[in-house]
Amino acid sequence: MSSAINDRAPTGLLVDFGGVLTTSIWDSFAAFCATEELDPGTIKAIFRGRGRGLELLRALERGELEDTAFEAEFAELLEVDPEDLISRLFAGLGPDQPMIDALGRARRLGVPIGLISNSWGTGIYDRAPLELFQETVISGEVGLHKPQPEIYQLGAERLGLAPGDCAFVDDLAENVAGAVAVGMRGILHRGADGTIAELEALFGLELAPY
């Protein structure tokens, strides 16, 4: 479902990485919990509780906390081994190839494309298709995190566009709301088919492999 606060057709596209260009992060977390013999909703509950777990994540996202320090403290909350914890949390993550292919077609058709991602440490982007993007904004590199307004504004600025000229795709409603608040067209990602259809309608392009 898309949201908007302006009627201008966008000319640039900004997207999230994890959960948009990959399979579900929550599914990967649930698989991790199963391996560790935890309730499958443990990690989601920790973040939604907005306590110490979310504080640790925000510090990691802003680059204020080293990977190993986050792993040590977050492992203590989960009561699991901290060794390579971030890698283990994301072991179940795979590429969402239809979304990657659609962005590649949009780029070839002349749409400026950028990445705005809340980082989970330094290694997570080894699997990201960074060649798709003209510009990238990684939260840990800029000291900001979604849904802070400045991170969306920076993404648009790096593409040479105003926020109102951009569409933004994310799998978290609060992050889409943050983009809409600065004037972007927002698409809440719930699967490749729906998101690609919305992008086709917004940009007037054929992006699916018909």
Domain range list for the chain: 2-23+94-203, 25-89
Rounded Cα gap, residues 113 and 136, in angstroms: 9
pLDDT given at position 3? 46
Is there a contact between 5 and 183 (Cβ–Cβ < 8 Å)?
Answer: yes
pLDDT (tens digit per residue) in 117-141: 999 876 778 778 889 999 999 999 9
pLDDT given at position 210? 62
**Mean pLDDT across the stretch 95-102?**
95
Query: Locate tokens 């067209």: which residue?
Result: 185
pLDDT confidence of 75, banded at 50, 70, 90?
A: very high
The most confident of 4-13, 121-130, 188-197, by mean pLDDT: 188-197
Element (H, E) at 30: helix 25-35
pLDDT given at position 6? 57
pLDDT given at position 9? 83
Task: Please state, rounded to an integer, the average pLDDT across all residues of the chain.
Answer: 92
**Mean pLDDT across the stretch 180-194?**
96
pLDDT (tens digit per residue) in 28-60: 999 999 999 999 999 989 988 778 999 999 999
Rounded Cα gap, residues 136 and 23, in angstroms: 20
What is this structure's pTM? 0.91
Give the three-class secondary structure for 106.
helix
Element (H, E) at 12: strand 12-15
Q: Give the fold, CATH level 3, of 2-23+94-203.
A: Rossmann fold (3.40.50)
**Mean pLDDT across the stretch 67-92?**
95
Share of the chain above pLDDT 70, in %: 96
Is there a contact between 59 and 139 (Cβ–Cβ < 8 Å)?
Answer: no
Give the three-class secondary structure for 183.
coil
pLDDT given at position 4? 44
